[in-house]
């Protein structure tokens, strides 16, 4: 019964592709909303983290630790970007992380 249902599904899919053709996505087609959202997602996170550098001295040790952790979690996502974006944003992220870690160390050393 299960095999018959699978065969029927495959046959219907093949018939559909013959009748309506295989969809073609041109190279310059804009990404779907879902993909665009995923792309923006890392940038939103990046901006949210790095917008806090100005306040770093006013943040608590726990808040600073959380920000360092968020930087570390974001890094692999930026590493998956194309070469130029990766170069630019990894450097920017590193500057934010280094500042938070520096302030944290200063506060803990007091």
| Cα 56 to Cα 64: distance, rounded to the nearest angstrom | 7
Closest CB to another protein among residues 66, 85: 85
CB of 40 to another protein, least distance (A): 12
Closest CB to another protein among residues 16, 47: 47
Closest CB to another protein among residues 3, 84: 84
What single DSSP character describes residue 27? Answer: T
CB of 41 to another protein, least distance (A): 15
Of 67, 57, 72, 63, which Cα lies nearest the Cα of 107? 57
Within 13 Å and on the Cβ side, how many CA atoms surround 89? 21
Closest CB to another protein among residues 38, 102: 102
Would residue 26 be called left, alpha or beta, if left means φ above 0 and alpha means ψ between -120 and 50 degrees? beta
Cβ distance 92 to 46 under 8 Å? yes
CB of 68 to another protein, least distance (A): 13
Q: Please give the residue ranges that form the binding site for another protein (CB under 8 A).
A: 47, 50-51, 53-58, 84-85, 87-88, 91-92, 95-96, 98-99, 101-103, 105-106, 109
CB of 108 to another protein, least distance (A): 11
Cβ distance 100 to 71 under 8 Å? yes
């Amino acid at each position: 019964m299960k095999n018959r249902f699978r065969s029927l599904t495959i046959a219907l899919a093949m018939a559909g592709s013959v009748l309506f053709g295989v969809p073609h996505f041109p190279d310059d087609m804009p990404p779907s909303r879902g993909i665009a959202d995923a792309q923006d997602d890392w940038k939103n996170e990046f901006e949210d983290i790095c917008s806090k550098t100005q306040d770093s001295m006013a943040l608590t040790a726990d808040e600073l630790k959380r920000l360092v952790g968020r930087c570390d979690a974001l890094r692999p996502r930026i590493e998956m970007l194309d070469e130029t974006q990766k170069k630019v944003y990894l450097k920017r992220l590193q500057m934010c992380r280094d500042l938070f870690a520096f302030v944290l160390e200063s506060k803990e050393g007091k």
